[in-house]
Amino acid sequence: MTQYALVTGAASGMGRASADVLQAAGWSLLLVDLDAGKLETANAGLAGKGAVNWLAGDLTDVDFVSRLSDKIAGLTVSAAVHCAGISPGMGSPSRILDVNLAASIALVDKLVNVIADGASVVLFASTAGHMLGSVFDQQIAEAVGERDLAQLRDLATSPEIAYALSKRGVQFLARNMALAFGKKNGRINSISPGIIDTPMSHAEMAQQPLMKTIVENSPLPRLAQPREVAEVAAFLCSPAASFVTGTDILVDGGSLTTFTHNIAE
């Protein structure tokens, strides 16, 4: 039986790197991205190395998520790596919450019902969620639990705050859904990357000089390569991580330890 891994945001960046790494590990692929042209190009680059299916659409669209759910139900999807998301410079606070958190909630709610027993789901969060701290945790927990982001929209007074709130919410989502996936002998975790060598990160760094400072003062003072994060996602999808669930994995070169130390001082 062919085992598929779903990868969202698969046309570029960490999504494409995840597709490459998972395919090299023996997975067949179901690729999803908003950009149909780039997704078709990615599909062409991966074809011939194993079974590849793809579906283009907007994960904030309820109808598209239903179509994707039907597609998953027709395959044996035993892993999912959800990379799709936008950065602060790519949308309004409301749009950021919709893409990064509301769409993640909708996708996970579908996956728990249609993904194969024993499957592993990996959600991409961010160190920004950790940098936010616990000040809004009660509101975030309530919003994620109730599937209602109204109070987070009130808190999201800028794209940067919306981004941090959304990624903290993704961390909560992985934690909260661990029991539901465990009932199917499955697992769900999140990854919080630091600053990655992708066009999205470079665009943000041009607008936010603090990001360069964070990188320069990290224990590993460089940008991460997308593949370095993708390898962690692949590990979480593998039997080697069979007892890891409901947690967040930092892949940030130690930047958070330096950031929090400087804040404390």
- Give the model's pLDDT for residue 39: 94
Q: Are 186 and 120 in contact (CB under 8 A)?
A: yes
How many folded domains does the chain comprise? 1
Q: Which residue has tokens 């606070």?
A: 93
What was the pLDDT predicted at 265? 47
- Predicted local distance difference test score (pLDDT) of residue 49: 86
For residue 21, give every residue at least 6 positions away whose Cβ sits within 8 Å of its Cβ, in sequence order, or none.
227, 230, 231, 233, 234
Average pLDDT, the chain: 95
- Which structural domain range is residue 144 located in? 4-264
Give the CATH number of the domain where residue 78 resides: 3.40.50.720
- Per-residue pLDDT of 170-208, as tens digits, reads 999 999 999 999 999 999 999 999 999 999 998 989 988
Cα–Cα distance for residue pair 243/202, rounded to 1 Å: 35
SS3 sequence of 150-214:
HHHHHHCCCHHHHHHHHHHHHHHHHHHCHHHHHCCCCEEEEEEECCECCHHHHHHHHHCHHHHHH
Could you say which residues of the chain have pLDDT below 50? Answer: 261, 263-265
pLDDT in tens, 149-172: 999 999 999 999 999 999 999 999
